[in-house]
Amino acid sequence: MARIDDEMLVCRCEEVTVGEIREAIAQGAFDVVGVKRRTRAGMGLCQGRTCEKMVQQLISQELGVGPHETGSTSVRPPVRPISYGALAEGVF
Amino acid sequence: MLNKQLLIVGAGPAGLAASIEAKKAGVKDVLVVDINMKPGGQLFKQIHKFFGSSAHRAGVRGMDTGAAMLKEAEELGVEIWLNTACVGFFDERVACIEKGMPDGSKQIVYMKAEKIIIATGGQENVVRFKGWTTPGVMGAGAAQTMINVNKVKPGNKIVMLGTGNVGLIVSYQLMQAGCDVVCLVEAAPGIGGYGVHASKISRAGVPIYTKHTIKEVKGNGPNGRVSEVTIVEIDPKFQHIEGTEKTFEADTVTLAAGLKPVSDLVRLQDIELVFNGPFGGWVPTHNEKMETTCPGIYVAGDTTGVEEANTALEEGRVAGVSAAEALGAISAADAEAWRAEIWTRLDGLRMGPFGEKRAIAKKEVMDAFPGVAEA
């Protein structure tokens, strides 16, 4: 059943809505990484810095688990955006 | 590859204090990197006087503390790279740094640091409501930077969500900057911050709506900017009570919904974390030296749990002393005595109705520390 806030954006970088995240959870996602793999939430420019907490809240609400049981985004370098120039020089 | 004795990530109160203490203790080679154009973290936007006792710089404005620390760090010969991001750590404490050059370009530098202090601070939380991505919705801290550092008004008619000390102080400073603060909105039944700040706002005739939240923000202003804000009363389960809506004309919404620790660099290492609600989420565990489970890597400030500038500063000092000890610049006994003095001040900062919760949270984080891993 569609809910009143289903259209609301959660991940603005990748334009993922509350409804899409609820659907991912219904399909079996139980942590932030599971939601990310299904919806791309947290894969944009900010790498989940803005939406991670909101995704955690949704998982927490939908599955009735504590915030510490919802996981967090995986971290790998570069942790801040770097220039194409740096990439072109093959530093990573 | 460059070699450094001590690399400090973050030039806020924690990072600067760490660099000063390490230098004073005799470490020769201290580098602080910061992603921003100016050092000082959030200190330079804190134009208000801090509370507490004289040992904690009570009555001194945050920006003056920042200026004094920056001067001291420079006089002691601390090297500071600005517009510089530490973008990764690799094995054996090798940091990958995107260094900001004087001409504005960037250069990738690999650096092996004998000791590392991570003081990357905190980040503002977002709140979700219909229209939260509308231009004109921003963090309260961002609005504070605009008025106090950049001298730009974020808007003219502002609705503040949240009445913790950030919400209250920034509301008052927005009024001082010439903005019309329409109202403050708070989900809890009572005001979150100090009564003295709330009274200043109430005396100015600005209403504070407790047990309320933002229902919707409309973006019919120029370029889709915020045009009106609808708030609604909520029940004890935080559900909207229909029929209690109030709509205000506004062009800006500022969110003061707490902060979370910035822990991405910490998480790149095999540092053990612990979940702590009052501190804002996952934080690295550490011992009384501020050393993490990863040998030679220390943490300080909001990265280890969101508190406030004075606590960050004192934790930075502890980390600086400990790194100096580990580098052999001072004896273990001297370092121990130095740290004991700082910890007495830290304990003092974590007292009172607001501080006690932080004292308990800090104890939990430190009690979870399993010891430094074998190098």
ipTM: 0.91
Which chain B residue lies closest to A10 (C-alpha atoms)? B128
List C-alpha distances in Å: A34 to A6, A9, B288. 19, 18, 36
Q: A with B: how many residue pairs have Cβ under 8 Å apart?
A: 70
Token pair 């959030």 is found at B42
All CATH 3.50.50.60 domain ranges of chain B, comma separated, are 2-123+259-367, 126-255
Whether A42 has a pLDDT exceeding 90, the answer reads: yes
Residue A68 belongs to a domain: yes
> Residue A80: which domain range?
9-88
Show Cβ contacts of residue B374 under 8 Å, excluding neighbours closer than 6 positions: B295
Q: Cα separation of B95 and B161, whole Å?
A: 39
Residue A4 belongs to a domain: no
Q: For position A53, which CATH number holds?
A: 1.10.10.1100
Q: How far is B114 from chain A (nearest CA, A)?
A: 20
Sign of CA dihedral A13, A15, A18, A22: negative
Interchain CB contact of A3 with B (< 8 Å): no
Candidates 3.40.640.10, 3.40.50.2300, 3.40.50.300, 3.50.50.60; CATH matching B126-255: 3.50.50.60
Helix (H, G, I), strand (E, B) or coil at B98: strand
Show Cβ contacts of residue B105 under 8 Å, excluding neighbours closer than 6 positions: none
Contact A41, A56 (CB under 8 A): no
What's the pLDDT score for residue B8? 98
Whether A92 has a pLDDT exceeding 60, the answer reads: no
Beta strands in B262-324 (DSSP E): 273-276, 281-284, 297-299
What's the pLDDT score for residue B58? 72
Residue A21 belongs to a domain: yes
Query: Which CATH superfamily groups domain B2-123+259-367?
Result: FAD/NAD(P)-binding domain (3.50.50.60)
What total number of domains does chain A contain?
Answer: 1
Which chain A residue lies closest to B259 (C-alpha atoms)? A53
pTM: 0.94
What's the pLDDT score for residue A1? 61
- Interface mutation target, options B1, B109, B264, B271, chain A, most CBs of A under 10 Å: B264
- Which residues numbered 31-60 in A keep a CB inside 8 Å of some CB on B? 49-51, 53-54, 57
What's the pLDDT score for residue B53? 63
Contact B132 A10 (CB under 8 A): no
pLDDT less than 70: residues of chain B: 51-57, 375
Which chain A residue lies closest to B124 (C-alpha atoms)? A50
Other CB atoms within 10 Å distance of the CB of residue B271: 20
Which residues from chain B sit within 8 angstroms of residue A84, using beta carbons? none
What's the pLDDT score for residue B86? 96
What's the pLDDT score for residue A81? 86
Sign of CA dihedral B45, B50, B54, B59: positive
